[in-house]
Amino acid sequence: MTRQERADIIFAELQQRFPKPAVPLDHKDPYTLLIAVLLSAQCTDVRVNLTTPHLFKLADNPRDMTKLSIEQIREIIKPCGLSPAKSKNIWNLSQILIDHYDGEVPADLDALESLPGVGHKTASVVMVQAFDTPAFPVDTHIHRLAQVWGLTNGKNVSQTEADLKKIYPSETWNDLHLQIIYYGREVCTARQCNRMYCDMCKRMYPDRKTPFKAKKP
């Protein structure tokens, strides 16, 4: 089976299983999404969604956020982990948005990546989910499954992103990255599947005899 044949099987299955994938992080605008995605680093979406209402009740925009102290922010976001760094980044990026973008989140990937604590994946998520701009954010689930499905060699997340963008047309990226994440969480999990157990893997690799081990990002 060729890589494109596997890609087509994957796409058809994901479209059927998750036809309209919901954005997993609760937010109301680009700013609250940006903060939620920043908090989700090494933290579950469930935990972020339990934490952000307390933060956004006090500050759901850059100007109100900078009225809080870094210590206040840190106390609220402690459940999300890495609170010392995250609280500083939230306060500092909020000040930058005020100083340089009139308090608005820029709809520009490079500008987003220049903000404190905002890497390529975070910026890509904001571009996709806040501005509906084609992007393919690669998280650990996507990096793992792209290898399990033989769509990339798993060299690094940048290579995985580039490989997936070559395989799938840009109009599919925004839904597809969420569909793969949900499939990795609910069906083809890291503990339960390695090209040998879930129905889709067995269909693509029917003669597989030994487990496949994906490279970590």
Residue 67: active-site member: no
Sort residue 168 into left (φ over 0), alpha (ψ -120 to 50) or beta.
Answer: beta
Q: Of the listed 139, 165, 175, 202, which one is catalytic?
A: 139
Task: Determine contact, residues 3/150, Cβ cutoff 8 Å.
Answer: yes
Q: What whole-number distance in Å separates Cα of residue 65 and Cα of residue 122?
A: 19
Task: Determine contact, residues 40/77, Cβ cutoff 8 Å.
Answer: no
Residue 121: active-site member: yes
Which positions ≥6 away from 159 have C-beta within 8 Å?
Answer: 152, 153
The full length of the chain comes to: 217
Active site residues: 121, 139
